[in-house]
Amino acid sequence: MTVDGHQHFWVYKPEDLPWIPPELPLLRRDYLPEHLAPLLQANGVDGTIVVQAQHSLRETQWLLELAERHPFIRGVVGWVDLRSPRLRGELERFSKSRKLKGLRHILQDEADLNFMLGRGFTAGIGLLKEFGLTYDLVIAPRHLPAACELVARFPEQPFVLDHIAKPLIKDGVLSPWDADLRKLASFPNVFCKVSGLVTEADWAKWQPADFTPYLDVVWEAFGARRIMFGSDWPVCLLAGDYAKVRGLAAGYVGSLSKSEQQAFWGGVASRFYSLEDK
């Protein structure tokens, strides 16, 4: 099974998606399963993991409902306030759906670099394993030290790093991202998504070679058994269509062994998100 490990849906309302500014009109419209389905078919993708785009219980419920109606949505990474006194009840409610696979908070937008280390947040992380849920880390390079501390506290909790922590590809900056990423990868409970890369590069002029130094670090650090593909559709459309994003990844992994390529295109995502088990 070929799996896109990271994509989004939304019905656009500015109050729901404040992270999309007016200067990005391409994203200020609806993106729904009927828009993605033909792209998946054209690119040989069997299923996807849809990931939250807003801090909303309503959105989490909506994504789970979409997943029940569209079989290609193999799993949902939703949002629940991990600091809420009602957290257990909300996890019990949402976990009734077999499609809920994990949770995420848009940590990159938090001004406090140590937000993820707060007592309430970490108490919430501590509940996830009980419900068989993974956790997506969407962070910028400056958050990597705190992320290392977080994952060290919860060695039995599966984490996955979104967008390889969004390094400064456009500027060609590797340090200290590379060293911090290697430290995060040293924790065996952390996986990594090769996703969201084109939007960290020059949107109009990027070339495949721009990404090679970063992908070399990712493969050296995580190894083929902990890396999965994600398109980050529709956000990727700012810098490339679905086929270009998939082609970029295919160009890099083409020299890997057959088993390593199978792991990247679906095996790792299936294992991490327990797509056959839940």
> Quick one: which of 151, 135, 127, 125 has its CA closest to 100?
135
Asked whether residue 18 is domain-assigned, the answer is: yes
Q: How far apart are CA 195 and CA 192, in angstroms?
A: 9
Asked whether residue 201 is domain-assigned, the answer is: yes
Q: How far apart are CA 74 and CA 98, in angstroms?
A: 9
Asked whether residue 154 is domain-assigned, the answer is: yes
Q: What CATH number does residue 30 fall under?
A: 3.20.20.140
Asked whether residue 277 is domain-assigned, the answer is: no
pLDDT digits (tens, 9 = 90+) for 117-138: 999 999 999 999 999 999 999 9
Q: How many domains does the chain have?
A: 1
Q: How far apart are CA 133 and CA 156, in angstroms?
A: 11
Asked whether residue 267 is domain-assigned, the answer is: yes
User: Which residue ranges in the chain fall short of pLDDT 70?
Assistant: 277-278
176: how many CB neighbours lie within 10 A of its CB?
13
Residue that is written with structure tokens 């992908």 in the block? 215
Asked whether residue 144 is domain-assigned, the answer is: yes
Asked whether residue 278 is domain-assigned, the answer is: no
The DSSP code for 265 is I
Q: Which residues contact residue 21 at a Cβ distance below 8 angstroms, ignoring those fewer than 6 apart?
A: none
Q: What domain range is 110 assigned to?
A: 3-272
Tell me how many degrees the CA angle 247-252-257 measures, rounded to the nearest 5. 115
What pLDDT does 187 receive?
98
Q: How far apart are CA 149 and CA 116, in angstroms?
A: 9
What pLDDT does 276 receive?
75
Peptide bond into 213 cis (omega under 30): no
User: pTM value?
Assistant: 0.97
Q: How far apart are CA 115 and CA 220, in angstroms?
A: 29
Looking at the DSSP assignment, which residues form a beta bridge with residue 100? 76
The arrangement of strands across the sheet holding 134-137 comes to 3-7, 47-51, 73-78, 100-105, 134-137, 159-161, 190-194, 227-229
